[in-house]
Chain A
């Protein structure tokens, strides 16, 4: 069925169909729209989720951990400083191997205070052990909410997932998308397995116990092994999803890369604007490619290498900076992944705090890249 929804409403609609057991929440712009809409579903009796209105994001994530450890299918949502306030607890969720699914609406971290999009909030959580999936539009947000449940709850994975979308640009823009029937969604995500959790008095377990020099490192190693399984599992889920719903996904997405010597590498909504410009340039006889990185954690190294190793110039767009580092977080991963090949990789830091990214920016960046040797620089900033 076709519907017109904003990115935030698409997330809430998927959450309604998933009907999680527990949803602890704390509102923050631009994520508020998600929990507001979901609260309506609760008030109308359309879901039977236990809604917990927490007093802060720190408490919301703590409640999510409590309920997930008890065995409940648990979801939540946040943005920006809300995610930063969760930070301490975010690591606990992944290390306790709790399959929580959280919608993160990307927004710049303070300061200066800013409500618009960049990826600084979720990039600060890239080492937390959560799976991170970056989405371009409401359709991808909807689809990946459904798939994230399956992925996180898989018995070989048991890791939490962040389903990300760009604040305002995606979360507050209405687009047409396909949504599936409740019954089809239900059969796709399946029932949660409730074995092995706290509320199982016959098989008692300990969660989150102290773990010093004796076992801490072994537990960290297990997390390391588990997240390595994610890419393969997600690909299996993508296949199943395509068979069931007809929409095809991969961990990265290549567009017009076959005959192009120059390629952009980007994440989330900007990929749409780049694709739009690529289509226009193609009419004028210029071939430029795009590689969209959808799965950022774990980083799909082999796919990235395969897509990039023969390219003449690679432009990595980062919507977050890592002050004092060699470049932005996506750039550093791309450089590390392709270290065996001598590639010309450029890094552009752009769009911080929602600074507009328009088709003309694609042209300006291309012009700089064509004329220069590889560089790391800001684009669209007053100097």
Chain B
């Protein structure tokens, strides 16, 4: 079972992100479980969102306590004790413009200023679709072309053409920056 926790603020689209990823992985014939932690519904409130992906049936129904991947969509929510819930050699993605050093040396750390790109293209701090470019980069079983196509199609069920285009432009820009910063082309 592969387990991911998102830390974000209300309005950043983390819930939509896990639901979209859930649908995409479900189409890849995986068992999935995607759910947010419900609290006060207001923009800016810290919220955790969870995604489980598994070949086997998923029985557990509580929040994730041992993560393969942790994502912080807002760097002000990050503190090193929060990654106590990250497995050894786990993946950590932080949406930030700052340089962050970790005491833990086993963690695979990825830093990217997704918000800056989102603000430029969408004019709002909605980094969720930009972030998606990390998934085909980090997970070998994902075919990037199909992933992007599925993502675009799922978005167009809900949003106008203009919004979908802007989000996909953010995705492309982050994809480019991942290639530049972390070497591997997707």
CA–CA, A12 to B58, complex, Å?
22
- Residues A356 and B22 in contact, CB atoms below 8 Å apart: no
Q: Please tell me which stretch of A167-175, A180-188, A207-215, A308-316 contacts chain B, meaning at least 4 of its Cβ atoms lie within 8 angstroms of it.
A: A167-175
- Residues A175 and B60 in contact, CB atoms below 8 Å apart: no
- Residues A276 and B60 in contact, CB atoms below 8 Å apart: yes
- Residues B32 and A172 in contact, CB atoms below 8 Å apart: no
Q: Is A222 an interface residue (CB 8 A)?
A: no
Task: Give the residue of B32, B38, B63 whose beta carbon is less than 8 angstroms from that of A175.
Answer: B32
Q: How far, in Å, is B24 (CB) from chain A's closest CB?
A: 9
CA–CA, A169 to B30, complex, Å?
20
Q: How far, in Å, is A201 (CB) from chain B's closest CB?
A: 46
Give the interface size class of chain B. Answer: 20 to 34
What 0/1 readout, one digit per residue, does chain B (48-87) give for beta carbons within 8 Å of chain A?
A: 0000000000111111010000000000000000000000
- Residues B26 and A273 in contact, CB atoms below 8 Å apart: no
- Residues B63 and A356 in contact, CB atoms below 8 Å apart: yes
- Residues A115 and B38 in contact, CB atoms below 8 Å apart: yes
Instruction: Name the B residues within 8 Å of A356 (CB-CB).
Output: 62-63
Instruction: Name the B residues within 8 Å of A275 (CB-CB).
Output: 59
- Contacting A at CB under 8 A, from B11-38, are 18-19, 22-23, 26-27, 29-36, 38
- Residues B38 and A3 in contact, CB atoms below 8 Å apart: no
Q: How far, in Å, is A14 (CB) from chain B's closest CB?
A: 18
A-B pairs with lowest CB-CB distance, top 10:
A173-B35, A4-B26, A276-B60, A276-B59, A358-B62, A174-B34, A272-B59, A272-B61, A275-B59, A176-B26
Q: Is A116 an interface residue (CB 8 A)?
A: yes
Given contact pairs A116-B38, A174-B35, a sample of 7 additional A-B residue pairs in the complex whose CB atoms are under 8 Å apart: A3-B26, A4-B27, A168-B38, A176-B31, A279-B59, A358-B62, A359-B62
Q: How far, in Å, is B39 (CB) from chain A's closest CB?
A: 10
Instruction: Name the B residues within 8 Å of A191 (CB-CB).
Output: none
Q: How far, in Å, is B164 (CB) from chain A's closest CB?
A: 19
CA–CA, A273 to B58, complex, Å?
9
With CB as the reference atom, state the residue of chain A lying closest to B50.
A173
Looking at chain B's contact residues, is the secondary structure mostly helix, strand, loop, or mixed?
mixed
With CB as the reference atom, state the residue of chain B lying closest to A115.
B38
- Residues B59 and A358 in contact, CB atoms below 8 Å apart: no
Give the interface of A toward B (CB within 8 A): 2-4, 115-116, 168-170, 172-176, 269-270, 272-273, 275-276, 279, 356-359
Enumerate 30 A-B pairs (CB-CB under 8 Å) in ascending A order.
A2-B26, A2-B29, A4-B27, A115-B38, A168-B35, A168-B38, A169-B35, A172-B38, A173-B33, A173-B35, A173-B61, A174-B22, A174-B23, A174-B32, A174-B35, A175-B31, A175-B32, A175-B33, A175-B34, A176-B31, A272-B58, A272-B60, A272-B61, A273-B60, A276-B59, A276-B60, A279-B59, A356-B63, A359-B60, A359-B62
CA–CA, A168 to B61, complex, Å?
11
With CB as the reference atom, state the residue of chain A lying closest to B54.
A176
Give the interface of B toward A (CB within 8 A): 18-19, 22-23, 26-27, 29-36, 38, 58-63, 65
CA–CA, A349 to B167, complex, Å?
47
- Residues A174 and B38 in contact, CB atoms below 8 Å apart: no
- Residues A173 and B34 in contact, CB atoms below 8 Å apart: yes
- Residues B61 and A269 in contact, CB atoms below 8 Å apart: yes
Q: How far, in Å, is A278 (CB) from chain B's closest CB?
A: 9
- Residues B60 and A172 in contact, CB atoms below 8 Å apart: no
Instruction: Name the B residues within 8 Å of A116 (CB-CB).
Output: 38
CA–CA, A376 to B88, complex, Å?
40
- Residues B61 and A169 in contact, CB atoms below 8 Å apart: yes
- Residues A175 and B62 in contact, CB atoms below 8 Å apart: no
Task: Give the residue of B18, B32, B61, B65 whose beta carbon is less than 8 angstroms from that of A176.
Answer: B32
Instruction: Name the B residues within 8 Å of A3 (CB-CB).
Output: 26
Instruction: Name the A residues within 8 Å of B27 (CB-CB).
Output: 2, 4
- Residues B62 and A357 in contact, CB atoms below 8 Å apart: yes
With CB as the reference atom, state the residue of chain B lying closest to A167.
B38
CA–CA, A115 to B35, complex, Å?
16
CA–CA, A273 to B59, complex, Å?
6
- Residues B61 and A174 in contact, CB atoms below 8 Å apart: no
- Residues A174 and B19 in contact, CB atoms below 8 Å apart: yes
With CB as the reference atom, state the residue of chain A lying closest to B29.
A2
Among A115, A174, A273, max chain B CB count under 10 A is at A174
Q: How far, in Å, is B25 (CB) from chain A's closest CB?
A: 8
Instruction: Name the A residues within 8 Å of B35 (CB-CB).
Output: 168-169, 172-174
Instruction: Name the A residues within 8 Å of B61 (CB-CB).
Output: 169-170, 173, 269-270, 272-273, 357
Q: How far, in Å, is B114 (CB) from chain A's closest CB?
A: 23
- Residues B59 and A4 in contact, CB atoms below 8 Å apart: no
Q: How far, in Å, is A212 (CB) from chain B's closest CB?
A: 48
CA–CA, A74 to B26, complex, Å?
32
CA–CA, A173 to B52, complex, Å?
11
With CB as the reference atom, state the residue of chain B lying closest to A354.
B38
With CB as the reference atom, state the residue of chain A lying closest to B30.
A176
With CB as the reference atom, state the residue of chain B lying closest to A278.
B59
CA–CA, A170 to B62, complex, Å?
11
- Residues A4 and B32 in contact, CB atoms below 8 Å apart: yes
Q: How far, in Å, is B26 (CB) from chain A's closest CB?
A: 4
